[in-house]
Amino acid sequence: MDALMNFGTGIFGGVWPAVWTLIKIVLIVAPLMLGVAYLTLAERKVIGFMQVRIGPNRVGPWGLIQPIADGLKLLLKEIIVPSSANKAIFIIAPMLAIAPALAAWAVIPFTDTLVLANIDASLLYIMAITSMGVYGIILAGWASNSKYAFLGAMRSAAQMVSYEIAMGFSLICVLMVSNSLNLVEIVNAQNSGRFADYGLTFLSWNWLPLWPMFLVYLISGTAELNRAPFDVAEGESEIVAGFHVEYSGMAFALFFLAEYANMILVSALTSIMFLGGWLSPVGFLPDGILWLFAKMSCILFLYLWFRATFPRYRYDQLMRLGWKVFLPICLVWLVVVGVWMMSPLNIWK
Amino acid sequence: MDFQTLVFFFLSAILIVASLRVITARNPVHAALFLILAFFTCGGIWALLQAEFLAIALILVYVGAVMVLFLFVVMMLDINLDRIRQGFWNYLPLGAVLGILMVLEMGMVLGSKYFQVPAADAMIPAGISNTKAIGALMFTDYVYPFELASIVLLVGMIAAIVLTHRGPKKSKYTNPNEQVFVKAKDRIRVLQMPVEKD
């Protein structure tokens, strides 16, 4: 590592730290994009198997080159801008959708040392950056100058703002018990406790004491992602394809990339907040980045499973779930956790 | 010029242009978007001043929530630009007075050193992050003002609900609770009947 640093300083001189950060960003984003590509394939395969179909199997062995073919097709297609659309915003909207999805990865810790920016307020940063993802959708819907797209944008805006509240409250519980806003410390705080002393670390993770919050986070996460069964923003049967109905080619692909990058992001966040991140579930196995990937894969599989299983929520039911069910649960559990932490039964000392 | 100054000038230039465009843009949605850009850039400047909590809170609250709803409303408005422009000269005196007042207030705060007012020094012990320091102060020294502010906000929230609440719903609507808990036997009754023969 030192040799690499010296080599870099020798070549780039003073700008080496900036170049090194750029290299690290590429090292995060490139595998992420690969993950996105193969997540689309996994989604089609998994849903195919659940519906007793085969799924894509023509391009390459077991359809393994399918995502590349899809990407190439979208790259070569023409981007059609509707004649009465607001051109500048129409083009900017997909960029605004994908930028937060990538920017949030800056603070995600892969292990306790493998993190691009280990800042103290990383949880706040994540909440701030992910809350900006909705602009891409709203602006796409508005700039398209189409009724269906606008309806999709309105639905999506209302939905994301509602579920962000429940999501924020469940994260507040997490930061209360781990006494930190730093994601690395949040994971490390899950490595101690009575069960961890017995070697059963997985029972010390946040999912068990914060079980209702874990469920709320998982479900609101699905809603924030606009994934089935909360995909009213797309709602093919009612509003064609929602906010991206006027998009084609790479502009459309960017919305897709943003959605899948966000899926991977939320699965990483769920693993870090509630499932102990890179910690191994039992004491006798070493911790490592592979555990994080395994946990993320399980949660991603859950999202695909949801999509194959549940019918789409009706819009009013969705609002009711967010405001009348999750919000009261969060408020009550927040007080419960607060009282628990102040009582002699506190397990997070 | 070091890197920080460069970033500061870069951000300030964007902030000034964006703020100007907020009041000069013809399309209200564009104006709202420039306001979002201004908030975001302002967050950047605060982060540069090492007030990372304020910066992130600004982006989280204003960019992430307030402006989303604001944009939502602006997009739905039916705005007639000509009619708005007609009232421009009527509103100008009031607007000018407000603008001068704001400049005066800002001058008084920013010029406190010039007027030899002892400014409150921020005393943060080294090694404690800004976020932690604000949290600690908020819940120890300033707990009563903080609680008071939250009560004011709560009152505002309830007032908004009371103002827009129009009494119990008179129209027919479905009750999701009943829908969720419905069973097959509530909806369909299977009868056993002897086969009728004629």
Is residue B121 pLDDT above 70, yes or no? Answer: no
| Distance between first and last Cα of chain A | 37
B48 touches chain A (CB under 8 A): no
Higher model confidence: residue A183 or residue B198? A183
Q: What percentage of chain A reaches a pLDDT higher than 70?
A: 100
Residues of A in contact with B68 (CB under 8 A): 131, 134-135, 138, 157, 160-161
Q: How many residues does chain B have?
A: 198
pLDDT category at B97 given cuts 50, 70, 90 is very high
Is residue B148 pLDDT above 90, yes or no? Answer: yes
pLDDT in the model for residue B81: 67
pLDDT in the model for residue B98: 93
pLDDT in the model for residue B120: 56
Q: Looking at CA atoms only, how far is residue B8 from chain A in angstroms?
A: 18
Is residue B27 pLDDT above 70, yes or no? Answer: yes
DSSP A131-142: TTTHHHHHHHHH
What is the interface size between A and B, counted as CB pairs within 8 Å? 68
Give me the phi and psi of A44, to 5 degrees please: -70, -40
B59 touches chain A (CB under 8 A): yes
Are A234 and A137 in contact, with CB atoms under 8 Å apart?
no
| CA contacts within 13 A on the Cβ side of A110 | 14
pLDDT category at B125 given cuts 50, 70, 90 is low
Nearest in space to A347 (alpha carbons), one of A147, A216, A190, A181 = A190
Which candidate in A90, A91, A96, A124 is best for mutational testing of the B interface (most B CBs within 10 A)?
A124
pLDDT in the model for residue A58: 85
Q: Residues 168..187 of A with a Cβ closer than 8 Å to B: which?
A: 181
Q: Could you count the other beta carbons within 10 Å of the beta carbon of residue A71?
A: 18
Q: Looking at CA atoms only, how far is residue A319 from chain B in angstroms?
A: 11
Are A234 and A242 in contact, with CB atoms under 8 Å apart?
yes
Contact B68 A154 (CB under 8 A): no
Q: Report the mean per-residue pLDDT for chain B.
A: 82
Residues of A in contact with B71 (CB under 8 A): 135, 138, 157
Angle (CA) A193-A270-A232 rounded to 5° is 150
Residues of A in contact with B70 (CB under 8 A): none
Are A156 and A141 in contact, with CB atoms under 8 Å apart?
yes
Are A183 and A109 in contact, with CB atoms under 8 Å apart?
yes
> What's the mean pLDDT in B161-188?
82
Alpha helices in B139-193 (DSSP H): 143-164, 176-180, 184-187
Is residue B108 pLDDT above 90, yes or no? Answer: no
In Å, how far are A166, A223, A322 from A318, measured between CA atoms? 13, 9, 6
Strands (E) in A195-309, as ranges, are: none
Is residue B31 pLDDT above 60, yes or no? Answer: yes
pLDDT in the model for residue B117: 60
What's the CA gap between B150 and A84, in Å, rounded?
Answer: 46
Is residue B153 pLDDT above 90, yes or no? Answer: yes
Q: Which residue has the tokens 């023509």?
A: A58
Which residues make Cβ contacts (< 8 Å) with residue B18, sequence separation at least 6? Answer: B34, B35, B37, B38, B41
Q: What is the mean pLDDT of each run of 10 residues along chain A (349 residues)?
A: 73 77 88 90 91 86 87 87 84 89 89 80 86 86 85 83 87 87 85 77 82 90 85 75 81 88 91 86 81 90 90 82 88 90 79
pLDDT in the model for residue B127: 61
B53 touches chain A (CB under 8 A): yes
A90 touches chain B (CB under 8 A): no
> What's the mean pLDDT in B55-83?
80
In Å, how far are A68, A133, A244, A349, B180 from A36, measured between CA atoms? 11, 17, 19, 39, 35
Q: Closest partner residue to A132 among B33, B57, B64, by Cβ?
A: B64
State the ipTM, two decimals: 0.80
Q: Long-range contacts: B38-44, Cβ < 8 Å, 24+?
A: B39/B63, B39/B67, B41/B11, B41/B14, B41/B15, B42/B15, B44/B7, B44/B11
B45 touches chain A (CB under 8 A): no
Q: Looking at CA atoms only, how far is residue B188 from chain A in angstroms?
A: 22
| Distance between first and last Cα of chain B | 105
Is residue B124 pLDDT above 80, yes or no? Answer: no
Give me the phi and psi of B87, to 5 degrees please: -80, 0
| CA contacts within 13 A on the Cβ side of B85 | 8
pLDDT in the model for residue B80: 67
Which residues make Cβ contacts (< 8 Å) with residue B128, sequence separation at least 6? Answer: B136
